Amino acid sequence: MTDSPFVENFFEYSNDDSDVYPIQFFSLQNPNAVQDFIFVNGFSDPVQNHEDIFRELADRGYRVWAINMPGHGKSGKVPQVNWETLVEIVRTFVTNMGIEEHVMGGFSMGGGVALMYSGMYPDNIKAIRVLSPFCYGLTSMGQTFIGAAKFTIDFLRNSRANPSNKKPPSNEIYPMYYIPHYSSVIMRPIEVNSKALKNIPIDVVVGDMDEVVNFELVKQALGELHNAKFRTVKGLGHDIYFVEREMIEEIAEYLVK
């Protein structure tokens, strides 16, 4: 596994009121990389939780850029958050960094952002690779909220088995009081430009024990996109922080195929 530093940095996002907010991102540079991979965080799940996956991606030839959306990690708290806001934050990052052709990815909520962004700005998207994409394939809103609440409580309390022996990044935990600002992101199904997405290879990875995202409904929602491929990871729930080493490698392998 690459020993390159996982570097923290910030860029500025300006909303329609010209207010400026710092947005945190991390980079992992493989000196021999041939492709950029941009990854968006999941709801209540800062990207630094998944450094192991990013290192696996770097080992497979990628420069990894991982963005924390507002309120996650050390990113600023934008007052009004919706899908368009999250897409424009990614757009600002891509423009500021001068990134051209790239792979677009994300986990959970970030998977939805990746799909919506790619539908709106498809020109430089080489592929879309998402893990448990939230807003596609939800079993029901009730079950989703119960599953999401359980996931968040387990994460905060670290009550699940922790085979990786990681310490929970408590200083980076998404503040619970900020959740209402994400209500429109959770509740509203996103709209994507399916015509644009049909020309982009899409890999969708979902755990067969995911309590938030239903794999069969994901396939149904994205099935019209003929370039979409679907894979399941046996034994994986929606929590991808405290997982076995072998599972991390399997997830990364699926995200590059």
Task: CATH number of the domain at 203, please.
Answer: 3.40.50.1820
The predicted structure's pLDDT at residue 171: 47
Report the number of distinct structural domains present in the chain. 1
SS3 of 164-209: CCCCCCHHHCCCHHHHHHHHHHHHCCCCCCHHHHCCCCEEEEEECC
Q: Is 173 exposed, middle or buried (0-12, 13-18, 19+ CB in 10 A)?
A: middle
Q: Parallel, antiparallel, or unpaired for β 228-233 and 202-207?
A: parallel
Is residue 101 situated within a structural domain? yes
Task: Tell me the torsion sign for CA atoms 106, 111, 115, 120.
Answer: negative
In a domain, 76, yes or no: yes
* 157 occurs within a structural domain: yes
Q: How far apart are CA 163 and CA 118, in angstroms?
A: 35
Q: Record the pTM.
A: 0.88
CA distance 67 to 117: 14
Q: Is residue 1 part of a domain?
A: no
Q: What is the pLDDT of residue 142?
A: 62
Say if CB 178 and CB 78 are below 8 A apart: no
Which residue range forms the structural domain that includes residue 157? Answer: 6-256
Confidence of residue 170 (pLDDT cuts 50, 70, 90): very low
pLDDT in tens, 56-99: 999 999 999 999 999 898 999 898 888 999 999 999 999 999 99
CB contact burial 108-135 (16+ within 10 A = b; e otherwise): bbbbbbbbbbbbbbbeebebbbbbbbbb
Asked whether the predicted pLDDT for residue 164 surpasses 80, the reply is no
* Residue 206 belongs to a domain: yes
Residue 227 or residue 235, greater confidence: 235
| Better pLDDT: 87 or 171 | 87
> What average pLDDT does the segment 113-129 reach?
94
* pLDDT average, residue stretch 229-233: 91
